[in-house]
Amino acid sequence: MANTMQFDLVSPERALASLQASAVQIPGADGDMTAMPDHAPTITTLRPGILSVEAEGGTQSYAVTGGFAEINAEGTSVLAEQAIPTGDVTAELIDGLIATAAAAAESASAETKDAAAKNLADMEALKAALSI
């Protein structure tokens, strides 16, 4: 595939993808972004959302709950807290993640309450994006 870059997606449990991609759509903490070949070097944190990879065989999508992405001219590497192919996400799984985020928001200190509330909102938005 012409004009591609190396893409790697890793979670603590396993490596999920290592392939040549033409674009990677990333749910960055400061907003969505698309990494493409020859992208300027960037490191960003991830928020809960859908990470999409455009490759020769089609588009692959993953639900991610957070982590980091490193983008440079040669490729993009994503280290996700948790990453699941979107086709494998169940209502029970996403509801469990939302319940965990809600409990964390409820017990958050004054200093972390806003961040915990945003994480909960992002988890609920992920569920809506997955149409579950």
Taking 50 as the pLDDT cut, the residues of the chain under it are 1
> Do 9 and 73 fall into the same domain?
yes
pLDDT in tens, 66-88: 999 999 988 999 999 999 999 99
Total number of domains in the chain: 2
Residues 107 and 69 in one domain: no
For residue 82, the SS3 value is: coil
Select from 30, 98, 105 the least CA-distant residue to 65.
98
pLDDT of residue 74: 83
**Residue range of the domain that includes 79:** 5-86
Both 76 and 97 in one domain: the answer is no
pLDDT value at residue 2:
58
Contact in structure between 7 and 41 (CB atoms under 8 Å): no
- Give the pLDDT confidence score for residue 73 in this predicted structure: 80
Number of Cβ within 10 Å of residue 21's Cβ equals 25
Radius of gyration of the chain (CA): 15
Kindly state whether residues 41 and 101 are assigned to the same domain. no
* Cβ atoms of 80 and 70 closer than 8 Å: no
